[in-house]
Amino acid sequence: MGDSEFSQDRENMVRYQLSRRGIHDARVIEAMRNLPRHLFVPERLRDMAYQDRPLDIGQGQTISQPYMVALMTQLLELTPEDRVLEVGAGSGYQSAILGYLASEVYTIERIPELADQARKRLEEAAIPNVTVLVGDGTLGHESAAPYDAILVTAAAPSIPSALKQQLAQDGRLVCPVGERGEQILVRIRRKGEEFPIERHTPCMFVPLIGAEGWGN
Ligand code: SAH
């Protein structure tokens, strides 16, 4: 499939999977319309890149469904000045969307092979402002904190306290929280030392594994 066919696929993805389901943030729509999701999936799955589902990216991990990427991004309410932390780089696609919409992004991945691959793909997609780190993202990345927005793209038993502490005032944190097989997407917002919580939609993510996540 050529690039023009992929752009038609992206148009359809935006119209049928995002706009019709309530994604209304014009900047999120623009990012998803422009960024080449097919570059972030294994080559043999490229023709499926814009389908309404998560896809296997190797190492037992997945690239999230387009709608879930859009919803989580919309909940972060990003401005072009924001500094962002992502936990779970995986394919690097969500990181690319964050890089497109914010000023500076740090993304942490625990599996080194995925981190290497994400780095290459971000370069290929010409996204210059994302730094891919290897490590346990449940501890955050203290040296670049505080962050205006934090996104966790793996399922946590509860919101890691280190991440709350690295959130700026009025900063937003979005994370799937619950059991290993089923979670609710939640958003908290820092107000002083209070973190009021909102519960959004049921979801299913791969487990967050680490000091403040699940054991191996
Ligand atoms: N945002 C990704 C989704 C990847 S799935 C994308 O768009 O493709 C979640 C990822 O979180 C997996 O790659 C998994 O290896 C990673 N992960 C799980 N626990 C982690 C931890 N404690 N720190 C960093 N990454 C973690």
CATH (domain of 150) = 3.40.50.150
Q: Whose CA is nearest to atom 2 of ligand 1?
A: 90
Which residues are designated catalytic? Answer: 64
**Is the residue at 108 inside a domain?**
yes
Summarize pLDDT for 88-147 with one digit per residue, the tens. 999 999 999 999 999 999 999 999 999 999 999 999 999 999 999 999 999 999 999 999
Cα(47) to ligand 1 centroid in Å equals: 23
Of 36, 51, 31, 40, residue with least CA distance to 4: 36
* pLDDT band, very low/low/confident/very high, at 3 (cuts 50, 70, 90): confident
Sheet holding 104-109, edge to edge: 130-134, 104-109, 83-87, 147-152, 167-178, 183-189, 197-203
Q: Which atom of ligand 1 is nearest to the CA of 137?
A: 23
Q: Are 3 and 124 in contact (CB under 8 A)?
A: no
Q: Give per-residue pLDDT as tens, 162-199.
A: 999 999 999 999 999 999 999 999 999 999 999 999 99
Q: Which residues line ligand 1 (CB under 6 A)?
A: 61-64, 87-88, 90-91, 93-94, 108-111, 114, 136-138, 153-154, 206, 208-210, 213
- Residue 37 domain flag: no
| pLDDT of the residue at 216 | 76
In the predicted model, is pLDDT for residue 11 greater than 70? yes
Write out pLDDT tens, residues 147-164.
999 999 999 999 999 999
Which residues make Cβ contacts (< 8 Å) with residue 44, sequence separation at least 6? none
Is there a domain that residue 41 lies in? no
State in Å: Cα 4 to ligand 1 middle. Answer: 30
Residue 4 lies in a domain: no
The atom of ligand 1 lying closest to the CA of 57 is 8
pLDDT in tens, 42-88: 999 999 999 999 999 999 999 999 999 999 999 999 999 999 999 99
Q: What is the pLDDT of residue 42?
A: 97
Name the residue at shortest CA distance from atom 26 of ligand 1. 88
CB burial of residue 118 (10 Å; 0-12, 13-18, 19+) = buried
Q: What is the pTM of this model?
A: 0.98
The structural domain count of the chain equals 1
Closest C-alpha among 39, 69, 216, 43 to residue 138: 216
Instruction: Identify whether 120 is part of a domain.
Output: yes
In a domain, 67, yes or no: yes
Q: Is residue 40 part of a domain?
A: no
Asked, for residue 86, whether it belongs to a domain, the answer is yes
Summarised one tens digit per residue, pLDDT across range 31-40 is: 999 999 999 9
Ligand 1 atom nearest to CA at 40: 8
Q: Which domain holds residue 125?
A: 54-203
Which residue matches tokens 């973190």? Answer: 195
